[in-house]
Structure formats: C-alpha cells, structure tokens
A = this chain, B = another copy of it.
Amino acid sequence: MKRLAALALLLTASAQAQELDFPAGYREWIHLTTGIDMSYNPTFFRLGHHMFDNVYAEPSAYREFLKTGTWPDKTQLVLEVRMGTTEGSINKAGMLQTGEPMGVEVHMKDATLPGGWGFFGFDGQDKRATIMPQDAECYACHRKDGAVDTTFVQFYPTLLPVARAKGTAR
C-alpha cells in the first residue's frame, strides 16, 4: 500500500509538471540579457523578421544562483521574443523593440521531469501551456551546450562570472 501511495503521488506530481500557468509577472523579474536574431532559436529566426530575445529569471531563483552558481528546483527562466524595427519616433539607425511579445517560452527546473527541466511555449493570449515533448530540439541543444545545468549562462553577462567563481560553469 505504501508503494502504491508513493506511486500515486509521483504520478500526480508528474502530471502537474506537464502543464504550466503563464508567468504573468515576468517583466518584473530579473533581466539576464537580450540578444538579437540569435540562431539557437531557429523557430523564430525562420520568420524573416528581426527578433529580440529578452531573458528573465524569477527573483528568488536568481538570488539563489548568486549564492550557489546554480539554479534551485522550480526555477523559471523566461525567453520573451519581440519584433525589432528600425522605425520608431526619432530613431535613425539600429533597432528598437516594439509591440506585443511574439512568443514567451519558459524553461523550468523540476526534479520530477526526465532531465530535470521542462520547456513550455506560450503563444498570444495562452493562459496555460503543455510541456514540449522531450524530443523537441531545445532539450538536446540546452543539454549539449548549456554552460550551467542545461542553461545558457554563457550568454548572461552578470551570471557567468558568478558561475565561474563558484566553479559551476563547464
């Protein structure tokens, strides 16, 4: 009976980890970096627009990273994609961000998931997203090249020195 109860608990946890609510407050989280038209995000890149990628970390996970050089369980990192345009107000060159997000993706650490992390993609007004299947290319790429615990800390200028100092960057 004990084993059955434990199995039931595990199944419930696993089922919960398959869906995620939209991270409503993420624009008030900690900004880690912004890139433009980076090619490790091929889905958006193929659209032929210019795209900024803004990355945010949930504040308590960020503070834990500052202390330890790695992410605690339930960490959420958000990748927000916004259109880049040269046209806007007085701007004459370069690019600025404009309009509504074109997509929001969450990378969540969860010990109940295979590999310990899940990706969730939100389009438009999605309030809830289903986990991306484990054969989605984001998983393989993050596992192969993420500097810290399958995350791209090599692209986060304020966190890379922390990871190096703590010896957690590979």
Contacts and interface: CB of A to CB of B under 8 A. Distances in A.
Interface residues of A, number: 41
Copies in the complex: 2
A155 to B, nearest CB: 5
B28 A94 contact: no
Interface stretch (A6-14, A32-40, A110-118, A131-139): A32-40
Interface string A4-48: 000000000000000000000001101101111111100001000
B97 A35 contact: yes
B37 A93 contact: yes
A135 B36 CA distance: 34
Interface of A: 27-28, 30-31, 33-40, 45, 52, 54, 56, 59, 62, 82, 84, 88-100, 141, 145, 147, 152, 154-155, 157-158
